[in-house]
């Protein structure tokens, strides 16, 4: 079996054949081929200078974000030798032509800096050749990471919770509504047990909150297991840097508010174990979020970028 080839096909299937990434690839290729530079610059503008209200534009930009997430995975896969590196084949040429486009570059270099697509672009230009030394546990670590990431992509990437943490209001609901719910244990439990068809947006966000804390705990544990591979470790963290770096402060504060609510919970039948368990959970979750939103894992990728430019 050609294992690298199989891994590559798996990654393409999961990250690039999704409707969103495929839509972005097609739309960007078409605009680049037609030299629609002004339209492309409009689409990929900095939203803080010129807000994005059009539903179509929002959708296409979300598709581009998904495409760039896929580029993260290609970079991590190439760095670790999990997939064959860029070989000039049709797929890689298509990715290269997108990543080297001036307007696309401004989007992921200037407006919304994403380091892994930048590294991949350098790799495609032949200016980055770094790889992680092969070791018996490397491939299983990548398999582990991809399992973690698939869970994130499936349950959290497009979730109400992350949108709310990113300051979006969803059909009138904000993250503070979720925090308020956590402050009422009886209501919280009732809502957690609603059958799927009867859940409102805050109910779903509550369930996603539990998933996000668990994901963060698993991610932090995984990152610690990569202490011997700082660049790989840093690339994995950078894959989630939108959440833990770009909006990290906001995320830290808001999740902290949510965790604080749990500390006020008192069981109907006094049980010392409840308070101990809640305090331990809150302390652990808070510590994990603080670690992830710090820049502890940032530097190796930054260094690789500055050395290759």
Q: How far is the CB of 186 from other proteins (least distance, A)?
A: 8
Per-residue DSSP letter, 271: -
Cβ closest to other proteins, residue 13 vs residue 253? 13
Instruction: Mark the segment that binds other proteins (CB under 8 A) among 18-26, 57-65, 145-153, 161-169.
Output: 145-153
Instruction: Mark the segment that binds other proteins (CB under 8 A) among 37-45, 114-122, 277-285, 295-303.
Output: 277-285
Cα Rg of the chain (Å, integer): 21
d(CA 214, CA 289): 11
Main-chain phi, psi angles of 175, to 5 degrees: -65, -30
Cβ closest to other proteins, residue 77 vs residue 117? 77
Cβ closest to other proteins, residue 211 vs residue 252? 211
Q: How far is the CB of 175 from other proteins (least distance, A)?
A: 17
Q: How far is the CB of 243 from other proteins (least distance, A)?
A: 18
Is 89 one of the binding residues for other proteins (CB under 8 A)? no
Residue 170, classed as helix, strand or coil, is: strand
Is 3 one of the binding residues for other proteins (CB under 8 A)? yes
Number of residues in the chain = 309
Biggest alpha carbon–alpha carbon distance for the chain:
69
Give the number of other CB atoms < 10 A from CB of residue 52.
15
Give the number of other CB atoms < 10 A from CB of residue 295.
12
Instruction: Mark the segment that binds other proteins (CB under 8 A) among 15-23, 87-95, 183-191, 232-240.
Output: 183-191
d(CA 42, CA 27): 14
Answer for which of 153, 278, 298, 305 binds other proteins (CB under 8 A) is 278
Q: How far is the CB of 185 from other proteins (least distance, A)?
A: 6
Instruction: Mark the segment that binds other proteins (CB under 8 A) among 98-106, 121-129, 140-148, 296-304.
Output: 140-148
Give the number of other CB atoms < 10 A from CB of residue 309.
9
Q: Where are the beta strands (DSSP E) in the chain?
A: none
For the chain, percent helix, then strand, then coil, each to nearest 5?
Answer: 70, 0, 25
d(CA 290, CA 277): 20
Instruction: Mark the segment that binds other proteins (CB under 8 A) among 112-120, 229-237, 244-252, 276-284.
Output: 276-284
Cβ closest to other proteins, residue 16 vs residue 107? 16
Q: How far is CA 269 from the centre of its chain?
A: 41
Is 172 one of the binding residues for other proteins (CB under 8 A)? no
Q: How far is the CB of 151 from other proteins (least distance, A)?
A: 8
Answer for which of 18, 105, 144, 286 binds other proteins (CB under 8 A) is 144
Is 273 one of the binding residues for other proteins (CB under 8 A)? yes
* Residue written as token pair 């999961």: 14
Cβ closest to other proteins, residue 183 vs residue 185? 185
Instruction: Mark the segment that binds other proteins (CB under 8 A) among 50-58, 158-166, 182-190, 238-246.
Output: 182-190
d(CA 70, CA 73): 5
């Amino acid at each position: 079996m050609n294992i690298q080839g199989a891994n590559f096909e798996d990654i393409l299937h999961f990250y690039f054949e999704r409707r969103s990434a495929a839509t972005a690839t097609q739309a960007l290729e078409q605009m680049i081929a037609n030299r629609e530079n002004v339209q492309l610059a409009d689409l990929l503008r900095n939203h803080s200078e010129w807000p994005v209200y059009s539903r179509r534009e929002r959708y296409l930009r979300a598709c581009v974000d998904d495409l760039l997430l896929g580029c993260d995975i290609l970079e991590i896969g190439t760095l670790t030798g999990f997939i064959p590196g860029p070989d000039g084949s049709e797929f890689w040429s298509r990715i290269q032509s997108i990543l080297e486009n001036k307007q696309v570059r401004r989007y992921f270099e200037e407006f919304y800096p994403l380091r892994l697509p930048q590294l991949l672009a350098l790799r495609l230009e032949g200016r980055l050749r770094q790889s992680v030394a092969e070791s018996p546990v490397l491939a299983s670590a990548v398999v582990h990471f991809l399992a973690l990431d698939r869970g994130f992509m499936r349950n959290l990437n497009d979730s109400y919770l992350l949108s709310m943490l990113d300051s979006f209001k969803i059909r009138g609901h904000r993250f503070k509504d979720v925090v308020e719910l956590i402050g009422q244990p009886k209501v919280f439990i009732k809502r957690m047990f609603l059958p799927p068809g009867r859940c409102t947006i805050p109910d779903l966000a509550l369930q996603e909150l539990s998933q996000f804390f668990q994901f963060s705990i698993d991610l932090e544990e995984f990152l610690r297991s990569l202490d011997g591979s700082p660049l790989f470790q840093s690339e994995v963290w950078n894959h989630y840097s939108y959440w833990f770096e770009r909006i990290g402060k906001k995320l830290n504060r808001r999740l902290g508010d949510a965790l604080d609510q749990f500390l006020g919970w008192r069981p109907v039948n006094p049980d010392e174990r409840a308070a101990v368990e809640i305090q331990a959970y809150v302390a652990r979750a808070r510590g994990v979020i603080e670690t992830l939103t710090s820049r502890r894992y940032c530097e190796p990728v930054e260094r690789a970028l500055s050395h290759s430019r």
